[in-house]
């Protein structure tokens, strides 16, 4: 029996990622959407042929949905999850799960008291590339992994956009993500999660550095160093200001794992994914870094069986969000002012 799914927040990622993926998952039916903007709710309902669309949460939760996926902006996640707990429904929530640890702990506790499964929707885990890396690490194909370099430098769709009246304005989505904490708190959570997903070893210590290309409160270019319990080290480099004002936009997306027996390297933009070890070079098929369909297949299975080895738990989501937030806060607090 397919589960009736409700989705909260019909923005960009819902439209290009979540909605199509739910509709392609045989065991799920996208039954209802909630979107505070009624025009947007109607537009998305018609575009995707969703049976029900609501702009009031009471109506959404009364519609007969059996599980909820949350794709609203991070500051709304707490309220959305607490509503799921109140209505005793399982929830899958976009990253960053919470804006700080105390809100995250409150969300986890509410879902636990409601006796409902609660997962963090890290879609990078389900890319065939990420799953292959996990398999290679587990079988020791490059020996013991000692170092990870995870790089994502991009422009977050550029600094400016054109408004309805044709004038150039600051790009609103980028402004919102920078106000919510910037690149480490937003996209960097995927990389922090992958380090843990691949190594299976908790972080024992972190240090962070930042650069301000633009003048937001949060740095728009950041480096995070993580020491893991098993002695491995991860560095995450992430930027939202890489070619953000340039005519030609570029990005850099790299995973590199360095082990005692070789390396694994994935470069999304060069479409290259290979391993070098004692038996030579091994090339693997490339795929994008995100996989929403894989995420929803696994969630559908978990909703039926009650368990999953691959989905991130909400506790993991809170831990990752907290790490990214604390690292960003430390960098902001230690910002060195230029000498005049």
Ligand X SMILES: NC(=O)c1ccc[n+]([C@@H]2O[C@H](COP(=O)([O-])OP(=O)(O)OC[C@H]3O[C@@H](n4cnc5c(N)ncnc54)[C@H](O)[C@@H]3O)[C@@H](O)[C@H]2O)c1
Residue 48 CA to residue 17 CA, distance in Å, equals 13
Shortest distance (Å) from residue 304 CB to ligand X: 23
Shortest distance (Å) from residue 204 CB to ligand X: 27
Asked if 22 contacts 15 with a C-beta cutoff of 8 angstroms, the reply is no
- Is the Cβ of residue 70 or residue 141 nearer to ligand X in the bound state? 70
Q: Which residues pair with 145 in a beta bridge?
A: 259
- Is the Cβ of residue 182 or residue 219 nearer to ligand X in the bound state? 182
Shortest distance (Å) from residue 52 CB to ligand X: 15
Q: Which helix (H) or strand (E) holds 324?
A: helix 314-333
Shortest distance (Å) from residue 93 CB to ligand X: 8
Shortest distance (Å) from residue 285 CB to ligand X: 21
Residue 337 CA to residue 340 CA, distance in Å, equals 9
Residue 102 CA to residue 114 CA, distance in Å, equals 18
- Is the Cβ of residue 228 or residue 322 nearer to ligand X in the bound state? 322
- Is the Cβ of residue 35 or residue 237 nearer to ligand X in the bound state? 35
- Is the Cβ of residue 34 or residue 197 nearer to ligand X in the bound state? 34
Residues that bind ligand X (CB under 6 A): 8-14, 34-37, 40, 71-74, 76, 79-80, 94-95, 123, 173, 186, 290
Looking up tokens 């499964």 gives: 117
| Closest residue to ligand X, based on beta-carbon distance | 11
- Strand intervals (E) in the chain: 3-8, 28-34, 52-54, 67-70, 91-93, 118-120, 145-153, 160-162, 168-170, 203-211, 221-228, 233-239, 252-259, 262-267, 272-277, 280-283, 312-313
Shortest distance (Å) from residue 121 CB to ligand X: 7
Q: Which residues pair with 291 in a beta bridge?
A: none
Residue 17 CA to residue 114 CA, distance in Å, equals 28
* Joined tokens for residue 219: 């740095």
- Is the Cβ of residue 14 or residue 312 nearer to ligand X in the bound state? 14
* Joined tokens for residue 127: 């890319």
- Alpha carbon 129 to its chain's center: 16
Shortest distance (Å) from residue 201 CB to ligand X: 24
- Is the Cβ of residue 3 or residue 125 nearer to ligand X in the bound state? 125
Look at residue 24 and give its three-state secondary structure. Answer: helix
């Amino acid at each position: 029996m397919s589960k009736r799914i409700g989705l909260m927040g019909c923005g960009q990622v819902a439209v290009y990622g979540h909605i199509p993926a739910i509709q392609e998952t045989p065991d799920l039916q996208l039954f209802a959407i909630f979107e505070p903007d009624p025009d947007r709710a109607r537009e998305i309902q018609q575009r995707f042929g969703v049976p029900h669309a609501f702009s009031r949460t009471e109506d959404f939760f009364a519609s007969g949905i059996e599980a909820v996926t949350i794709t609203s902006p991070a500051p709304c996640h707490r309220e959305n999850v607490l509503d799921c707990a109140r209505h005793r429904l399982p929830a899958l929530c976009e990253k960053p799960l919470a804006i700080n640890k105390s809100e995250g702990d409150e969300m986890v506790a509410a879902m636990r008291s409601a006796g409902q499964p609660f997962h963090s929707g890290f879609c990078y885990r389900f890319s065939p590339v990420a799953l292959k890396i996990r398999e290679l690490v587990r079988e020791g194909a490059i020996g013991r992994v000692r170092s990870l370099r995870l790089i994502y430098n991009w422009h977050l769709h550029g600094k400016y956009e054109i408004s309805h009246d044709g004038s150039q304005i600051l790009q609103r989505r980028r402004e919102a993500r920078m106000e919510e904490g910037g690149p480490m708190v937003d996209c960097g959570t995927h990389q922090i999660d992958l380090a843990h997903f691949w190594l299976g070893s908790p972080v024992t210590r972190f240090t962070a550095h930042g650069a301000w290309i633009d003048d937001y409160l949060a740095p728009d270019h950041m480096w995070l160093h993580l020491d893991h319990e098993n002695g491995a080290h991860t560095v995450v480099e992430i930027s939202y200001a890489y070619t953000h004002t340039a005519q030609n936009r570029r990005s850099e997306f790299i995973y590199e794992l360095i082990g005692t027996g070789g390396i694994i390297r994935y470069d999304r933009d060069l479409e290259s994914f290979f391993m070098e070890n004692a038996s030579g070079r091994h090339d693997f098929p490339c795929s994008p870094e995100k996989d929403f369909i894989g995420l929803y297949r696994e969630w559908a299975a978990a909703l039926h069986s009650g368990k999953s080895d691959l989905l991130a738990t909400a506790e993991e989501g809170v831990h990752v969000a907290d790490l990214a937030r604390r690292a960003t806060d430390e960098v902001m607090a230690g910002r060195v002012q230029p000498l005049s």
